[in-house]
Amino acid sequence: MKDAADAILRAEQAAYLEALEPPRDPLLAKMEAHAAERRMPISDPEVASFLAVTARASQPRFVVELGTNIGYGAIVLARAAGAAAKVLTIELSHELCEIARGYVAEAGLTAQVEVRQGSAIAELEKVTQPIDLVYIDCVKEDYPRYLELALPRLAKGGVLVADNVLWRGLVAHENVPSSERVRVEAIRTFNLALVSHPDMRAVVLPLGDGVAYAVKTG
Ligand SMILES: C[S@@+](CC[C@H](N)C(=O)[O-])C[C@H]1O[C@@H](n2cnc3c(N)ncnc32)[C@H](O)[C@@H]1O
């Protein structure tokens, strides 16, 4: 969300980057308006652009997204990955799954995108097909567990993207409010495990609310 980006970048930098974003097509613009009206945590437009560039460059055949919300990220990923790619996106809320399925249908992507209702951990545990691109954008406290489950399932050369890894800048703060401590500790654990993993090459980008970007090398 924009508030979060502004916590990392200076306000004028955030506004400048926002202005650089290309105009969205009517469906994505409608979804952004829907999310803004109801304060729903969809990906920032610049993170969506990053996902689109990543998916176009890596041409994944199988994409998994943890945390669907209204389907914004899933639609961006599916469009960029191309018609041959399958996207599995996992969302706990029945209601959000229904909304996301509606938008996926409107995008003409029903055959390509499976919106699966369930817990991200339980559903990721069931995945047996090698994942070419995983987008982690779900419960922050569970990021370390998502990483443990995603890495063995990621194909060699596969890409991992995780959103909110600077968590409003708090991940780098010494004095973290007690209400955020568990979340911040989990993200710190995730970041360290990712950047130090022998089979991964990773970088944390100050994009949006912080984006981890990694490729499986071993
Ligand atoms: C940040 S939003 C996802 C945004 C989406 N990735 C996008 O690009 O627009 C996180 C979503 O995770 C869902 N969620 C929360 N707990 C979950 C769980 N245990 N398993 C799966 N989804 C969960 C929330 O309902 C919320 O819609």
Q: What is the CATH number of the domain that holds 154?
A: 3.40.50.150
Q: For the whole model, what pTM was predicted?
A: 0.96
> What would the mean pLDDT of 172-195 be, rounded to a whole number?
96
Interval 86-108: pLDDT, tens? 999 999 999 999 999 999 999 99
Q: Which of 93, 104, 123, 134 should be mutated for ligand 1, with most atoms under 8 A from CB?
A: 93
Give the range of the structural domain holding residue 70, as residue numbers without chain letter. 2-216
pLDDT band at 6 (very low <50, low <70, confident <90, very high): low
Domain count, the chain: 1
Between 215 and 24, where is the model more confident? Answer: 215
Ligand 1 lining (C-beta closer than 6 Å): 41-43, 65, 67-69, 72-73, 90-93, 96, 119-120, 137-139
The Å distance, Cα 71 to ligand 1 centre, comes to 10
Residue 204 has pLDDT above 90, yes or no: yes
Query: How many Cα atoms within 13 Å fall on the side-chain side of residue 104?
Result: 26
d(CA 205, CA 207): 5
Q: Give CA separation, 178 vs 139, 141, 209, in Å.
A: 18, 14, 20
The Å distance, Cα 216 to ligand 1 centre, comes to 24
Question: Please, what is the end-to-end C-alpha distance for the chain in angstroms?
Answer: 34
